[in-house]
Chains A and B, each alone.
Chain A
């Protein structure tokens, strides 16, 4: 016998708010993917660079972010970014910085993970390709841009997409900064109405459906790419 008496009546009225939350989640995810790939590519190239201080900086950055919990990073940015930006003209300390601090924290954190994926991708391209590009008279930049990176990106695509799905799930952690992302919104509605159990199950089901569909799609794509 189950002891719990379910009451789902809170959900229909809360759907607009939950949808707003989902938009916040998607915003953070997209931002982190974009910044993560761009900054991650730069980091990966720095890490592989022969300039020692560049590669040290990148290694330090990547190792720092990969050794601490995302939750801690988000708390750091939640606490610190408002202070940091006090000195920037045009941004008053009162500006609601939760969304931007979550985005910045996320993007910087995920870049470290993207950097490692991309580094592996670059390393997977045979050295001869780069040598051939140089022999054709290309400089390092051109060789990277036209020869190495396009192939590396293609190889990494499934991994990059999988990481994006993980990232989408990880956004739920912004809950610690009281930001109403999808999970935060569900939690808040549940907390207000005394219906946490129902809202948590609902949130879990929504995440599952979205992530499962997305990862099936990624599997399908990567099979087609191989074929």
Chain B
């Protein structure tokens, strides 16, 4: 069996509806972007909160348990638990409310929460090391100026820590796009899932896979370029390189 390349298949009308197969792929790309960006937002918020707690002696234990929990279970297993198991453990009314949602929304929500929580544990650890890398004098100076502890964090420590940990956060940001591909396993039709679906529908496995691979590489390049520019902009003079 020799392989016949048919790149034009991507422009043919898809099996159902009026869209082309390339259109399917672009809709997958859109979902991948939406999922990753919204999960990143959640990870940043939650991760910051936890990162701060992690450096406050009284709360550090709670945050540590959280981090260990989300770091030591494979992402795929976490996703399946969020999607299949959690709705069964919730109070029946909540679980039922979730299950009555549109199925695509259910898949998206499960993947979003899963990626958000998973990544927040990583953001938390990065931020903690950022805060701990600051000289203790900064915190003391903030407190000595009459700022409360929350104010010290908000006005002094976090702005510095954020700028310090931006490079490692960039790699977590890149990871979230790649990790979002696991959402295909619960049926969310994001980029990787569209690639697989195209293999079934077009019987041209290489074309669809090459196209999907190129899309992921493009995401990577765009994100890296943007983050690099941001890093340049917010670099703290005199810190690091």
For the complex, what is the distance from the CA of A64 to the CA of B199, rounded to whole Å?
Answer: 22
Inter-chain CB contacts under 8 Å: number: 110
For the complex, what is the distance from the CA of A76 to the CA of B209, rounded to whole Å?
Answer: 7
Within 8 Å of chain A (Cβ to Cβ): is B212? yes
Q: Which of B21-29, B81-89, B129-137, B158-166 contacts A (4 or more CB under 8 A)?
A: B81-89
**A2-B88 contact given A72-B212, A212-B68, CB 8 Å threshold:** yes
Q: Which of A39-47, A138-146, A170-178 contacts B (4 or more CB under 8 A)?
A: A170-178
Interface-central residue, A1, A79, A170, A208, by most chain B CB under 10 Å: A208
Interface-central residue, B77, B95, B199, by most chain A CB under 10 Å: B77
Q: Tell which of A4, A69, A183 touches B89, judged by Cβ atoms closer than 8 Å.
A: A4
Does the CB pair B73–A207 fall under 8 Å?
yes
Does the CB pair B76–A196 fall under 8 Å?
no
Does the CB pair B74–A176 fall under 8 Å?
no
Q: Tell which of B76, B81, B92, B220 touches A3, judged by Cβ atoms closer than 8 Å.
A: B92
Interface residues of B in 59-78 (CB under 8 A from A): 68-69, 71-78
Does the CB pair B178–A200 fall under 8 Å?
no
**A4-B88 contact given A75-B196, A204-B73, CB 8 Å threshold:** yes
Does the CB pair B76–A72 fall under 8 Å?
no
Within 8 Å of chain B (Cβ to Cβ): is A71? yes
Within 8 Å of chain B (Cβ to Cβ): is A135? no
For the complex, what is the distance from the CA of A2 to the CA of B86, rounded to whole Å?
Answer: 10
CB A70 to nearest CB in B, in angstroms, measures 7
Contacting residues, chain B, for A196 (C-beta < 8 A): 84
For the complex, what is the distance from the CA of A173 to the CA of B196, rounded to whole Å?
Answer: 15
Q: A165's closest neighbor in chain B, by CB?
A: B72
Contacting residues, chain A, for B68 (C-beta < 8 A): 212, 215
Q: Which of B39-47, B108-116, B141-149, B179-187 contacts A (4 or more CB under 8 A)?
A: B179-187
CB B175 to nearest CB in A, in angstroms, measures 10
Does the CB pair B205–A208 fall under 8 Å?
no
Within 8 Å of chain A (Cβ to Cβ): is B51? no
**A79-B91 contact given A67-B217, A71-B192, A72-B216, CB 8 Å threshold:** no
Does the CB pair B72–A68 fall under 8 Å?
no
Contacting residues, chain B, for A69 (C-beta < 8 A): 177-182, 192, 216
Q: Chain B, interface size: which category?
A: 35 or more
Does the CB pair A67–B179 fall under 8 Å?
no
Contacting residues, chain A, for B213 (C-beta < 8 A): 68, 72, 76
Does the CB pair A67–B73 fall under 8 Å?
no
CB B141 to nearest CB in A, in angstroms, measures 29
**A200-B217 contact given A172-B74, A207-B72, CB 8 Å threshold:** no
Q: A1's closest neighbor in chain B, by CB?
A: B92
Within 8 Å of chain B (Cβ to Cβ): is A38? no
Q: B72's closest neighbor in chain A, by CB?
A: A211
0 or 1 for each of A1-25: is its CB under 8 Å from B? (1 = yes):
1111000000000000000000000
Contacting residues, chain B, for A207 (C-beta < 8 A): 72-74, 77
28 residue pairs A–B, Cβ–Cβ below 8 Å? A2-B88, A2-B91, A3-B92, A64-B217, A66-B174, A67-B174, A68-B216, A69-B177, A69-B181, A69-B182, A71-B182, A71-B185, A72-B213, A72-B216, A79-B199, A173-B74, A183-B76, A187-B80, A197-B84, A200-B81, A200-B85, A201-B85, A204-B81, A207-B73, A208-B69, A211-B73, A212-B68, A215-B68
What 15 additional pairs, Cβ within 8 angstroms, besides A4-B89, A69-B180, A200-B80?
A2-B91, A67-B220, A67-B221, A69-B181, A69-B192, A70-B178, A71-B192, A79-B199, A79-B209, A169-B73, A169-B75, A201-B81, A208-B69, A211-B72, A215-B72
* Interface of B toward A, CB cutoff 8 Å: 68-69, 71-78, 80-81, 84-85, 88-92, 95-96, 174, 177-182, 184-185, 192, 195-196, 199, 205, 209, 212-213, 216-217, 219-221
Top 6 A-B pairs ranked by shortest CB distance?
Answer: A67-B220, A69-B181, A4-B88, A211-B72, A169-B74, A3-B92
